[in-house]
Structure 1
Amino acid sequence: MTASTSGLTGLRRAGALAAAALAAISLGVAPGARAEAATGTLPLGDADLTEVTSSSTLAKGVTLTRIVRGTDPAPADQINTTTRGPWVVNVLTIDPRKARGHLKATYGPDLAKVEKTTDLVRTSGALAGVNASFFTFTASQLYPGDPVGLGLFGGKLLSEPVTDPAEANFIVDANNNKAITGKLSWSGSVRNKKTGANLPLEFINHPPVVPAGCATLVDQTQCALPGDVVQFTPEFAAATPAGAGVEVVLDKRGCVVRTATTRGTALAAGQTSLQATGQESAALLALAVKGCVEQKSTLTDQNGKKLALRPGLFGVTGRYQLTKGGQIVVPDGAPGDSFFGRNPRTIAGTTQDGKIVLATIDGRQTTSVGTTMDETAAVAQALGLTDAINLDGGGSTSMAVAGSLVNHPGGSERAVGDALVYVDGRYHSGS
């Protein structure tokens, strides 16, 4: 990759500006502006609470705003109930009409690993970013970064949206910074071009499950219980998941390179593989005999319209739409459901005039108590987000600017599956 001297100068200038802004925001004072006290900007807690808002320009068309509502630390035993706050909200706003750069999603070196948001921002050459998708996040998992839902990167579908009605998606075209929210649906299948044999795909880049009743069978072709059929791409990890089952490796034309009666292999660039467990194991081997395999993958929006995959299209997964058409649409949580209680939150959404807003709300601390799902939706609406979703939150909530955290997670920064990052330069396919 090469860059012109003028381009590098621009990036350095923008990075220096962002670093200065970060230092100022951390002190609560924006460069060239005064912190302003107000009441009523955010609909949180008592009406008489004081708010202090400071704002700074990170790059052309990109601003960082910090809102602190409430002045006194909360008693530790009242974090979940207090009406006095405080609340700390950081807001990154991108105006596509003015911005010279692009917003995209990134997962780091491979899809299966986790990295800190600060590292994802830094290695992307980005000015700023926030954590994004919900992900596996189990210490014992071999693939903790595996997205729990949609993962769309540069026009490549690397993780399918799930059927859970709670899933909400944020999709952005890095070519023009136009973004939408909603819920996507997916269907996939594999078909032998010569024989017409067909199998439905269950997942993309997600380890298949061996049926419990066949867990002791080394040869899964002898299993009579339903299993999974999964597509893997080189972006997943250094090797595909190993274990009982079968695997078929395909070249870029979809023609069979090799088959195996166990799972786990390294994929070369351009190759994909199909893994199967349970009774689908024998069916997949039979489908792969003599010929090439056609893989079909279709994304549709919530209106049933097909979403064409094209370079520059990125999508991440959240849980629950917060606002739609300017109205709060988040559902009521079940009594005692901690997910709907006060937590740190990350929000992504758009305003009526097309601005993109990424926001974090610190929580579970006496210095910022966090928000319930209802409060989070109210914040999104107050920030002018006509359409917004709730991204991964809790310990994952993080916003980075100029390579450093802006918010305070409440402990050490957690590694996450992917992030939404703003790069101050035009998008180029493959970047």
Structure 2
Amino acid sequence: MNLVNLMDPEQQVSFTEAVKVGLGRKQGVFFPAELHKLSDIEALLALPFTQRSGKILQHLIGDELPEDTINDMVMRAFNFPAPLVQVEENKYCLELFHGPTLAFKDFGGRFMSECISLFSQGERVTILTATSGDTGAAVAHAFYEKENVDVVILYPKGKISLAQQKLFTTLGKNIHCYAVEGSFDDCQAIVKQAFLDEEVKEKLGLNSANSINISRLLAQVCYYFEAFAQVPQDKRNNVHISVPSGNFGNVCAAMIAAAIGLPVKKLSATTNQNDTVPRYLKSGNWDPNATLESLSNAMDVSKPNNWPRVESMIKNGIFDKDYFYSSSVSEARTREVMQQINSTGYVAEPHTAIAYEGLAINSKADETGIFLATAHPAKFKESVETVLQQQLDMPKVLSDALAKPCLAETVDANYAELKQRIFDKLA
């Protein structure tokens, strides 16, 4: 597999190298130089999830990894379902919260863990990642107690839900967590600085587990095929997918799925009040505002890392811009939509509600709509119970985590301070 650095096209790397490096020169993200169509999509959709996913990843990665190796990695990583639930006529919810940390990022985090374990060959690796909510838990659990791997997680202090936070800040051992006095964008900026610091990269064997990393992105392609496999065959030709979007990795994976043959008719990348992309598509001016805190905190991102990948696909005609939509949903409307969905008998947390609203904003009557549920409602227990005025059952994995003490250290949004803290602990 040949991948190109979108900020420095002269840097072209293999899949293995892209996974190990994480971020390219000039803070550029890697993207496949070419995307080829799969043959016989209907036959592929008839296969079981893990078998199909192995074939998709083999198609994307190429002969760099043996087929048996990829299949074994997928079997270990994707050992939980992704059910498609009908909520209304012609509206389905793809539930991506049945993994160990109850969020869609378990798919990418666990596959990346498999890749890093294979490619590092016993060398020391330090995973450095910023999280706006769910990435931290998915990465922490995927790498927990892995030999020769340390994980450093930055998160904006007080700006993610307690359940999200406790899922990763209570683990300890090789998981090191820092609550940053600032926004997610501040955390992300620190991560990018670290990847420009040769001393840090050399001493710690630095890698990133954000959706910057291509292994996470490719893993996410697989569950879009799983969604289609569960849609009735007579409804597969006019499917509109709405993705709750913060860092834009999830919708980028949907575009890749479409590019290799999945018959996605329309894509909506629906944001909360942090609306940099919707405004950019209207005005042509990239003008990020200060990040605002929202009910859908995992999407509180003003400078999405994956936008260069999405924009590249649109500009190069890999996905038709006329079938790509991006709208923002206000806080008040998010609450209303949560209540609206609840009236159907389905409980949705804020991110899922925003995806649902994306269908409403951009859909036509003859379309089959799929909206993504990226996290279990109980991960946002306080806000969901307040908005819906009803009690939620707490999954055991969350209740166990909530009972444990937080082990995170608080730091300023200052790269030099954090670097010293990490060196004191790991170098």
Which has the higher relative contact order, 1 or 2, with Cα contacts under 8 A spaced 6 or more apart?
1
Structure whose residues are more often helix by fraction: 2
- TM-score, structure 2 length as denominator? 0.23
- TM-score, structure 1 length as denominator? 0.22
